A and B are shown apart, each in its own frame.
Chain A
Amino acid sequence: MFLSRIQRALSGRVLLREETLRLSLATLLSGGHLLLEDVPGTGKTTFAKALARVLGLSFSRIQMTPDLLPQDLTGVYFYREGNLEWQKGPIFSQVLLVDELNRATPRTQSALLEAMGEGQVTLEGKTHPLPEPFFVLATQNPVEEEGTYPLPVAQRDRFTARLSLGHPDEKALLQALKEKEPLEGLEAVTQGEEILALRQEVRRVGVTEEVLDYLLALAGWLRNREEVRLGPSPRALLQVERLAQALAFLEERPFTIPEDIKEAFRAAIPHRLILRLEAELSGASPEGLVAEALRAVPAPVERA
């Protein structure tokens, strides 16, 4: 119901596949953050803006550059007429689009850690809570290597899912070409309070022990692979579970099924895996290993 409402609102406005929208909304409802990885010009910024607008949330965008400082994100204290005044940074919004995250220095990247993990920012010893719901959509460009700083593991682990928007099909592309102003006339179909309430609903979606065992088996399979230097962290597994719950919720199911776990695992794990150098050189990829795990581990279903 929630999904179809958003789908209807965004229909024909953004170049988006259905599963991408589903996973994005599931990430939002699971309380996580999303990493969009794609080549330039695939509509990442438009998607983020459109999503913020239909969700009725405040939106801000930061373009990361190597000379950007953490204060440019969080805000600064400045002296005015004998008083210290605080100027809020762009991070104080509900939907934050961080463009080309890997262009910023690790110092600036890490300014996002506290905000993403705990929903707060500490400045001059004072903690400022961020508005709720707080949802970070970060993009990174996988093509350009010059002048980029790869995200540290801790930073990547903060992102619940990584998605690629991919190239739209011809029909959607034609629609996009016809649409001169895609965001014009977009109206909010929900609001922050509803999203917060839905997040509570998501937590109530049932996950049976055998489904959790399945998730653990998948993680164990990856950890035992020679190619993997760093397997999925416990935080990653918690986020997979929550994401699977959100996916089930979007399908209006009060319980999760192995397919939810699979979809969540596919979206949430590859960007956290660190492979051995030899494995990378021999052509192994995190996505390939995850796909292999999903093919190798038996799902908890009746066996005939």
Chain B
Amino acid sequence: MLYGLFLAAKKQPFSSLFLLPIALWLGPLGLFLLGLLHGFSLLEEAHRRAQERGEGFWTPLSALWFPGILGLLLAGLAFLPLPPPTFPLPALNPPSLQASPEAKSHPGEEVAYQAPEEGFSPWVAFLNRALVYAQPLALFLLLLALLPLLGRGERLPCRGLHLLPLVLALLALGLFLLYLGTLGGGESLLGGTPTAPMPAPSQENSPKEAIPGPRRLGEVGMALAGLSALVTLGLLSLLALLVWRHREGERPEADQEIEAKSLRSFREALPQSRVRRAYFQALKALKALGLPRLASEGPLEYLERISPLLPGLRESLSELTRLYLPVRYGGKAGEEEAERAEALLEDILRLCSSAVSKGPFRAGSS
């Protein structure tokens, strides 16, 4: 299970394989949660791969149905004729804070019955209530919190932090079930709700025997479960805050991206870029003609080398080079220069195409 959680923290989809036993143990709810986790892991993996390829990965809202359906399908597995879970689940009634009437009518069984007459101590009662209401709320919030966290695991201060509430929620659930189990063992003596026999020591003993019931254990278990549920809620709130702050921090980045994009398009429209692009296109055309510029050649050296080979191009290319030099090495160009460079490029392309029709040059044919 720990390895499964570790893999889940690493966003490995096959962590589900290791978490399956515990999900089976938890029953439909566990399988549902596992399905959700698996679905999210898959989406996260897809997101990561898209990022690696440098592609944008926008999760459409409809894609969020995927984990849900997967969870339901997995939960549906629980209704298959599989061997029953070893741990019998008692009815998930809120633990009674009052001593049962049976307890009063059978004073001799007070030892076996776990709930004290005066009820649980106030702090246990509080935690009990917290457990009853906070646990489903924590799970619900967990599911909600996982949605915006999708694909953000690596951006959080600690990788995999968003899975911690899930772990805690599971812990709380486990403790709660343990508590119910132990309590159920006591109640079974009175013909209470749990119908399945408990593999607890209490079951082996005769009902009439005074059993040291797991009252203390029940109290502590319930308290721990309630505490875990509260911590889960607290962590979820903290996580939501972190995500919110991260999103706040990301906004300038997004703005910068937009700025960079608009700057790029702005730069492309600048006269300098137009002149450089015209020169680049001319180089491409000459390369296609079999006269590529050598990597070590400067613009003037190149012009000097190819001018005797293409006398018709000499003038245009010379002027284009003259326009290109101050742009590339001096950073200056006006609108006029850009227009002139584009006109020269047209000339060069026309002359190149007519030269192609006469037959291609070979590099170094001079």
Interface residue? B48 (CB, 8 A): no
CA distance A295 to B294 in the complex (A): 9
- Kindly identify which residue among B284, B287, B293, B330 contacts A206, using a CB–CB cutoff of 8 Å: B330
User: Scoring B residues 268 to 309 as 1 if CB is less than 8 Å from chain A, else 0, what string do you get?
Assistant: 000000001001100110110000110111111110000000
User: Scoring A residues 62 to 96 as 1 if CB is less than 8 Å from chain B, else 0, what string do you get?
Assistant: 00000000000000000000000000000000000
| Interface-central residue, A211, A256, A258, by most chain B CB under 10 Å | A258
Interface residue? A208 (CB, 8 A): yes
Interface residue? B326 (CB, 8 A): yes
- Kindly identify which residue among B276, B296, B329 contacts A294, using a CB–CB cutoff of 8 Å: B296
If A257-B300, A259-B298, A262-B298 touch, does A302 touch B329 (CB 8 Å cutoff)? no
Q: Which residues of B contact A257 (CB under 8 A)?
A: 298-300, 325, 329
Question: Contact: B292 with A304, CB < 8 Å?
Answer: yes
Do most interface residues of chain A lie in helix, strand or loop, or is the interface mixed? Answer: loop
User: Scoring B residues 326 to 344 as 1 if CB is less than 8 Å from chain A, else 0, what string do you get?
Assistant: 1011110000000000000
CA distance A257 to B329 in the complex (A): 6
Q: Which residues of B contact A258 (CB under 8 A)?
A: 298-299
Interface residue? A296 (CB, 8 A): yes
Interface residue? A298 (CB, 8 A): yes
Shortest C-beta distance, A298 to chain B (Å), equals 4
Give the bracket for the number of chain B residues in contact with chain A. Answer: 20 to 34
- Kindly identify which residue among A255, A256, A299, A302 contacts B296, using a CB–CB cutoff of 8 Å: A299
Interface residue? A253 (CB, 8 A): yes
Shortest C-beta distance, B338 to chain A (Å), equals 15
Give chain A interface residues in 270-304, CB to chain B under 8 Å: 294-304
- Kindly identify which residue among B283, B299, B301, B326 contacts A304, using a CB–CB cutoff of 8 Å: B283
Question: Contact: B298 with A208, CB < 8 Å?
Answer: no
Interface residue? A254 (CB, 8 A): yes
CA distance A295 to B329 in the complex (A): 20
- Kindly identify which residue among B297, B299, B301, B326 contacts A255, using a CB–CB cutoff of 8 Å: B326
User: Scoring A residues 190 to 204 as 1 if CB is less than 8 Å from chain B, else 0, what string do you get?
Assistant: 000000000000000
Shortest C-beta distance, B332 to chain A (Å), equals 8
- Kindly identify which residue among B283, B292, B326 contacts A302, using a CB–CB cutoff of 8 Å: B283
Shortest C-beta distance, A174 to chain B (Å), equals 28
Q: Which residues of A contact B326 (CB under 8 A)?
A: 253-255
CA distance A299 to B302 in the complex (A): 11
Q: Which residues of A contact B329 (CB under 8 A)?
A: 206, 208, 211, 255-257
If A257-B325, A304-B280 touch, does A299 touch B297 (CB 8 Å cutoff)? yes
Chain B residue nearest in CB terms to A304: B283
Shortest C-beta distance, A251 to chain B (Å), equals 10
CA distance A165 to B302 in the complex (A): 26
CA distance A211 to B331 in the complex (A): 12
Chain A residue nearest in CB terms to B331: A208
CA distance A253 to B300 in the complex (A): 13
Chain B residue nearest in CB terms to A256: B329
CA distance A206 to B328 in the complex (A): 12
Give chain A interface residues in 143-191, CB to chain B under 8 Å: none
Q: Which residues of B contact A211 (CB under 8 A)?
A: 329
Shortest C-beta distance, B355 to chain A (Å), equals 16
Shortest C-beta distance, A195 to chain B (Å), equals 25
Q: Which residues of A contact B296 (CB under 8 A)?
A: 294-299
Question: Contact: B298 with A302, CB < 8 Å?
Answer: no
- Kindly identify which residue among A208, A256, A301 contacts B299, using a CB–CB cutoff of 8 Å: A301
Q: Which residues of B contact A255 (CB under 8 A)?
A: 325-326, 329-331
CA distance A158 to B297 in the complex (A): 29
Shortest C-beta distance, A302 to chain B (Å), equals 4
| Given A257-B299, A299-B296, A301-B299, 18 extra CB contacts under 8 A | A206-B330, A208-B329, A211-B329, A255-B329, A295-B296, A299-B297, A299-B298, A301-B297, A301-B328, A302-B283, A302-B328, A303-B283, A304-B280, A304-B283, A304-B284, A304-B287, A304-B292, A304-B293
10 contacts between A and B (CB under 8 A): A208-B330, A208-B331, A254-B326, A258-B298, A262-B298, A299-B297, A300-B328, A301-B298, A301-B302, A302-B328
Q: Which residues of A contact B (CB under 8 A)?
A: 206, 208, 211, 253-259, 262, 294-304
The 6 A-B residue pairs whose C-beta atoms are closest, nearest first, are A255-B330, A304-B283, A258-B298, A298-B295, A259-B298, A304-B284
